[in-house]
Amino acid sequence: MTKAAGEGRTEIQTKWASIDVAGSPMQCYLAKPVQEGPWPAVIVLMEIFGVNNHIRSVTERIAAEGYVAIAPNYYHRTTDNLELGYTDRDVVIGRKHKDATTRERLLVDIRAVIQFLQECKDVSPKDAMGCLGFCFGGHVAFIAAGMKEIKAVAAFYPGGVANMSPGGGEPTISHAGEIQGDLLCLFGEEDPLISHQDTVIIEQALKDAGVKHEIIRYSNTGHGFFCDQREDFDPSAAEDAWHRVKVLFSKTIVPQKVST
């Protein structure tokens, strides 16, 4: 499907793609500019609510900035796809699928997405990609950050990073030393799911590991502040965060022109 561009944005095309992961089809929402590339690639990692309208809109928004953007359904082992809203019932359903994930399987899924992108002729560079995640997807983005092709990660309100790992084991932050690219973390100071102390633990671990990072804490802001379909949506914080994401990707995964 082709979508018209807004002011200052690139016209894009969208479609669903399927990636085989050890015999399990992983549905992915793919958006990219209509114009001939190549374009840098960004992986968009969903909240617990699936590749829903919000995640698809973010994927399209990234593509309109001049990227090939892809949002994989890493719940593919327990559901073909998921289209949830933000009610209490939706939270229960989403958490059931989240609890069935493991770090090892998520790494397999991300590797499959990276290989898919590397095989796309309109993706370049092949060895420098971005990653953007929200809530549990922000946690998954921390996991993805340890892969050598991932050079820039923006993690929005990544829950659980400081104190757990999908499927059990040491907390995800204990793997901070594996992160090779730049990391941007965006938190709301009034987030009931992520304490200020959790953000301090994350920040200190990144410092100790020598990771190039930036921690942003928005005052009077709750969880899910980037999503305009949630009660905690904060337009000011969302606008600032989006600007930071664009700067991050433009500096790290967009091939820089060399003056002659």
Q: What is the greatest pairwise CA distance in the chain?
A: 59
Rounded to whole angstroms, the Cα distance separating 36 from 34 reads: 6
Active-site entry in 135, 139, 198, 213 = 135
Per-residue pLDDT of the chain (260 residues; tens, 9 = 90+): 766 555 556 899 999 999 999 999 999 999 999 998 899 999 999 999 999 999 999 999 999 999 999 999 999 999 988 999 999 999 999 999 999 999 999 999 999 999 999 999 999 999 999 999 999 999 999 999 999 999 999 999 999 999 999 999 999 999 999 999 999 999 999 999 999 999 999 999 999 999 999 999 999 999 999 999 998 999 999 999 999 999 999 999 998 665 44
* Annotation says 228 is catalytic: no
96 three-state secondary structure: helix
DSSP summary character for residue 224: T
* Annotation says 223 is catalytic: yes
Please give the model's pTM, rounded to 2 decimal places: 0.94
Active-site entry in 109, 182, 191, 232 = 191
Could you give the domains of the chain?
Answer: 2-252 (3.40.50.1820)
pLDDT value of residue 10: 83
pLDDT digits (tens, 9 = 90+) for 78-97: 998 899 999 999 999 999 99
* Annotation says 191 is catalytic: yes
Rounded to whole angstroms, the Cα distance separating 77 from 103 reads: 14
Give CA 154 to chain center in angstroms: 7
Residue type for position 224: G
Contact 97, 82 (CB under 8 A): yes
Q: What is the CA radius of gyration of the chain?
A: 17
Give CA 63 to chain center in angstroms: 14
